[in-house]
Amino acid sequence: MSLVNRLNKVLWKPLVRASYWATRTPARHRWFGRPLERTLGGLTTSLKAAQTQPDAGTVAREWQRMMPSPKKVPIVEETADTVVAEIHEVCPYRGTGNVRGCHRMMEYDRKMLEKIGGELVVLRSQAEPGVSVCKVALRRKGADLSDLTPAHVRVG
């Protein structure tokens, strides 16, 4: 296992806890969370040598490759323009009802997807009561997302 992958696995949980603190409120997110998430997302794409991808399927697999454990973000459905994946990693927002905080924390993924040519919509969030697995849709950057209802909009 490469040094980058080992560091990613070791630092993941402490950084997730810091991200949770920094994204819990809109004010914290503005001052700490967004800069932290975007810095971490940019660092991940640099360290993992992320490459721009030509279609939704390859975007999803590149996003999956950048995670500490690709097995924890399985692809569950794939069409020509959309890939649906699940996030099985236990999220600190699980069961809190703070779906907007979850949306703010996903700035990390949005930053990574900017580099690889994709966009992500959280369809179901672990922050919702009784949900233990997030469901996300990935598409090519600039694709129409109007048919996807983000969890933070659906739940309110």
CATH number for the domain formed by residue range(s) 3-155? 3.30.1380
Structure tokens belonging to residue 18: 């810091």
CA 41 to CA 73: how far, in whole Å? Answer: 16
pLDDT given for residue 128 in this prediction: 97
Coil vs helix vs strand at 12: helix
Give me the tens of pLDDT residue by residue for the chain, a chain 156 residues long.
576 667 667 777 888 899 999 999 999 999 999 999 999 999 999 999 999 999 999 999 999 999 888 899 999 999 999 999 999 999 999 999 999 999 999 999 999 999 999 999 999 999 999 999 999 999 999 999 999 999 999 997
pLDDT given for residue 2 in this prediction: 73
pTM of the model: 0.90
How many other C-beta atoms are found inside a 10 Å radius of the C-beta of residue 22?
Answer: 21
Coil vs helix vs strand at 2: coil
101 and 107 Cβ atoms separated by less than 8 Å: no
User: What number of helices (H) and strands (E) belong to the chain?
Assistant: 7, 4
